[in-house]
A = this chain, B = another copy of it.
């Protein structure tokens, strides 16, 4: 059985990564690569790593009938684009996975306070974190693929929050990301001479992924949670290391905590709970989220570290994982690559 997949947003890094992963997926036929930018060029001219493999031409998106021609539509467009075309497609055959923020929020007002006015607030997606919402994802017609930082942060804290083991008022999440998270558009911030031997915090208290983390931790906790999130830009290309500093309500050993994490993620194919703290190059190139933790021997602080590839588990890999679930495929299909280390 082969399904027909269309990718909207062919020029960006999430798009590139979708093509790369789909090319190795045994049950997929790529039928369309859409974008306004680069229309007319072959995918592999824009993304030369794909040369000889993904040579389909990019065309301007023609939404009329796209939902009939395709079984799955993967939208890797910037926020505010999907909200325009998704409503048109929802009545048709295709299942949709949107990698932007447009359908991630339960409360459209939260979206609007961080992004823009929503144009299809009535449409609801399933938050595409399989570790929390697998059953719903299987039945979904529209999945809202999570942001990269939220993926790492939520997975690193879900077992603790769910069980109310920590002080919910003092959750600090200090994340470090490679530069590919900034996308394919050059800017001063990611100009190599500026970024190449530098570290900076950015959007230190106002990052758009913050409300996404809060939404999911709040649902896990059963009460409103405001996590304290700050991302940093690091001179690597791929990878996120998310370090959570939390405070245990009562003392627990590393062993006991690992047991809880292992139970929580016992059936998860893409979460590895480690006895050491993970490093970015345990996972870059793979769909894994590696998690480790260390309680402070001198206080009630607990450090929980999660590592992901921001473009795979943090974006396109997770989208494929969601696609596999929505189509009833083996969840690992096309996602078995291991990290490149060194």
Is A232 within 8 A of B236, CB to CB?
Answer: no
How many monomers of this chain does the complex have?
4
A204 within 8 A of B: yes
Chain B residues with CB below 8 A from A245, complex form: 172, 174, 228, 230, 245
Chain B residues with CB below 8 A from A188, complex form: 186
Chain B residues with CB below 8 A from A276, complex form: 48
Query: Once the chains are docked, how many angstroms separate the CA of A47 from the CA of B282?
Result: 8
Chain B residues with CB below 8 A from A303, complex form: 201, 204-205, 230
A window 156-193: CB within 8 A of B: 170, 172, 174, 176, 178-180, 182, 184, 186-188, 190-193
Is A179 within 8 A of B193, CB to CB?
Answer: yes
Out of B48, B190, B277, B339, name the residue touching A193 (CB < 8 Å): B190
Is A205 within 8 A of B51, CB to CB?
Answer: no
Out of B23, B295, B336, name the residue touching A24 (CB < 8 Å): B336
Q: Interface range on chain A: under 10, 10 to 19, 20 to 34, or 35 or more?
A: 35 or more
A137 within 8 A of B: no
A243 within 8 A of B: yes
Q: Whole-angstrom distance from the CB of A185 to the nearest CB of chain B?
A: 8
Query: Once the chains are docked, how many angstroms separate the CA of A278 from the CA of B202?
Result: 10
A193-B237, A204-B243 known; 8 other A-B pairs, CB under 8 Å? Answer: A170-B170, A176-B232, A192-B237, A194-B342, A197-B281, A199-B234, A201-B303, A204-B294
**Which 3 A-B pairs give the minimum distances between C-beta atoms?**
A193-B342, A49-B339, A205-B296
A-B contact pairs, 9 of them (CB 8 A): A20-B338, A48-B278, A192-B235, A196-B235, A197-B236, A197-B284, A199-B280, A200-B279, A238-B342
